[in-house]
Amino acid sequence: MKKINKKLLTIALLSTSLSACTLVPGGHVDDVELADNEESFDISPQINAKFITPKVLAQLKQAEPKASLNSKLETQISEYSYIIGKGDVLSITVWDHPELTIPAGEFRSAGESGNVVHSDGTLFYPYIGKVKVAGLKVTEVRDLITKRLSRYIENPQIDVAVAAFRSQRTFVTGEIKQPAVLPITNVPMTILDALNATGGISPLADWRSVTLTRATQQSASEEKLDLYALYQKGDMSQNRLLQHNDIIHVPRNDGLKVFVMGDVAKAETQRIDRAGLTLAEALNNTGGMSETTGDASGIFVLRASTEKGKLVDVYQLDASNGAMLLLSTQFELKPLDIVYVTSAPVARWNRVIMQLLPTFTSIRNLSDVNQDYR
């Protein structure tokens, strides 16, 4: 076989020379000398090459998000108290003193008939006048009014509640079924609560790149959260307690794509949906590897490396043993991965022959013409 290949290679090279010199007028390419370039380098030391094996899959599995609790969030929720702000409406009731309680009336809501917190953070109440309530908890306002009213009423029984929450809100934007502005109330609201209240995420959403923008005293901070880990894996560390003026933005999934190239039925770009995408699914979606020309031992996944000093991680699946193909169903692809299927050596040779076939035909025709002429 090696001897035949050498003979065929000699014929191919000879035919190529003939086609360039004889059949293509002016078919000549000068030698090109590559100038020294300081930026040229050997990329091989910056490549992590690994075979896809059960051990490698187990290592990748360990790096995936897992179900976990969020003790910090649980503490924040258990200690949560609503802070009264400007624009809120309070309902203040003094038991056994109806003259101090504004009746709601038949057609008036509690929000319309309550005590509004004005722009200076105060409200007016009979006997005690202006009361500074902005920045206080409901229990603190109740204690404050009770103390002041006790000068005029013996042992006043007072109840204070927020009738309308108007001072604080959070914004939910992007690929949401119903983008909205949600009020912050006396019930603690997390990211999960906010997304459920807006109808959930749309099919075009990028679950893995959700941003939470939070205003601070001097600037604003932005945090990227992975809702795929939260929803699909139960990683509660991705959940947050929302505050005033928080912005939750869910982007489109334009960046959630992988590229399938090489010897497949149809090379294409594929999107990763909310359920993820495995190597087996990516190959199947393109019609699979070519059975006649594809090299089952050369299925590669190229991925940008997160290791210091490395440029790319290359994972190779050798599916020449059919049982190893099962591993492709467990290999999860990540955004911007490149899947490449190489061609078998005989297939590459066949393509060379097909490209050279017109040259052979032309030489044969010229030879026949010469024979006839003689």
The answer for 135, left when phi > 0, alpha when psi is -120 to 50, beta otherwise, is left
Q: What is the pLDDT of residue 306?
A: 86
pLDDT at 258: 94
Structural tokens at position 262: 């090489």
79 occurs within a structural domain? no
Give the integer Cα–Cα distance in Å for 142 and 133: 10
List the beta bridge partners of residue 159.
93
List beta partners, residue 271.
Answer: 257
Q: What is the pLDDT of residue 366?
A: 54
Burial 242-263 (b: 16+ CB within 10 A, else e): beeebbbbbbebeebbbebebb
Euclidean distance between CA atoms 237 and 226, whole angstroms: 10
Does residue 323 lie within any of the structural domains?
yes
**Contact at 8 Å (CB) between 310 and 47?**
yes
Range picked from 8-22, 88-102, 245-259 for highest mean pLDDT: 245-259
Residue 222 domain boundaries: 167-254
**192 and 245 housed in the same domain:** yes
- pLDDT band, very low/low/confident/very high, at 9 (cuts 50, 70, 90): very low
284: three-class secondary structure by DSSP: helix
What is the layout of strands, in order, in the sheet containing 169-174?
180-183, 169-174, 247-250, 210-215, 220-225
| Greater model confidence, 328 or 39 | 328
DSSP 156: -
Q: Are residues 150 and 190 in the same domain?
A: no
Averaged pLDDT, 168-182: 96
pLDDT digits (tens, 9 = 90+) for 320-341: 888 888 999 999 999 999 999 9
pLDDT digits (tens, 9 = 90+) for 54-104: 999 999 988 888 889 999 999 999 999 999 999 999 999 888 877 676 555
CATH number at residue 180: 3.10.560.10
Altogether, the residues listed in the chain come to a count of: 374
- The token duo for 212 is 């939470």
Q: Do residues 198 and 235 share a domain?
A: yes
- More reliable by pLDDT, 342 or 22: 342
| Tokens describing residue 180 | 């909205």
**Average of per-residue pLDDT values in the chain:** 81
Q: What is the pLDDT of residue 275?
A: 80
Q: Same structural domain for residues 343 and 261?
A: yes
Does 305 score more than 80 pLDDT? Answer: yes
Is the predicted pLDDT of residue 8 greater than 90, yes or no?
Answer: no
**Backbone torsion region of residue 302, taken as left when φ is above 0, otherwise alpha when ψ lies between -120 and 50, otherwise beta:** beta
Contact (Cβ atoms closer than 8 angstroms) between residue 138 and residue 186: yes
What are the structure tokens assigned to 227, written together?
């809702």
Q: Which range is most confident: 35-49, 110-124, 273-287?
A: 273-287
Q: For residue 317, give every residue at least 6 positions away whose Cβ sits within 8 Å of its Cβ, in sequence order, or none.
A: 51, 52, 279, 299, 300, 301, 324, 325, 327, 328, 331
List, for residues 125-168, the tens digit of each pLDDT value: 988 999 999 999 999 999 999 999 999 888 899 999 999 999 99
Task: Report the chain's C-alpha Rg in angstroms.
Answer: 36
264-274 pLDDT tens trace: 999 999 998 87
Q: Are residues 220 and 284 in the same domain?
A: no
Domain end residue (candidates: 226, 254, 282): 254
Write down the pLDDT at residue 5. 39
Nearest alpha carbon to residue 252 among 200, 214, 179, 202: 202
Close Cβ partners of 301 (under 8 Å, ≥ 6 residues apart): 52, 279, 314, 315, 316, 317, 331, 333, 337, 338, 339, 340
- Lowest-confidence segment of 2-16, 126-140, 346-360 by average pLDDT: 2-16
pTM of the model: 0.71
The residue behind tokens 């090299």 is 295
Q: At what angle do helices 345-373 and 2-18 cross, to 10 degrees?
A: 50
Which of 1-5, 167-171, 254-258 is the most confident on average?
167-171
For residue 182, give the nearest of 121, 191, 135 by alpha carbon.
191
Burial 67-81 (b: 16+ CB within 10 A, else e): eeebeebeeeeeeee
More confident residue, 28 or 284: 284
Structural domains in the chain (count):
3
Look at 368 and 81; give whichever has higher pLDDT: 81
Q: Is residue 37 part of a domain?
A: no
In a domain, 365, yes or no: no
Contact 113, 104 (CB under 8 A): yes
Classify residue 72: in a domain, yes or no: no
Q: What would the mean pLDDT of 255-277 be, rounded to a whole number?
A: 90
In this prediction, residues 193-221 reach a mean pLDDT of: 90
41 vs 299: which has the higher pLDDT: 299
pLDDT of residue 17: 40
Q: Where would I find the H helices in 248-344? A: 279-285
In terms of domains, do 326 and 261 share one? Answer: yes
Better-predicted residue by pLDDT, 197 or 43 = 197
pLDDT band at 34 (very low <50, low <70, confident <90, very high): very low
Distance CA 27, CA 30 (A): 10
Q: At which of 144, 164, 184 does a domain end?
A: 164
* Residue 237 predicted with pLDDT over 90: yes
Report the pLDDT averaged over residues 200-222.
Answer: 89
Q: Which CATH number fits the domain that encloses residue 135?
A: 3.30.1950.10
Distance CA(120)–CA(266), nearest Å, equals: 67
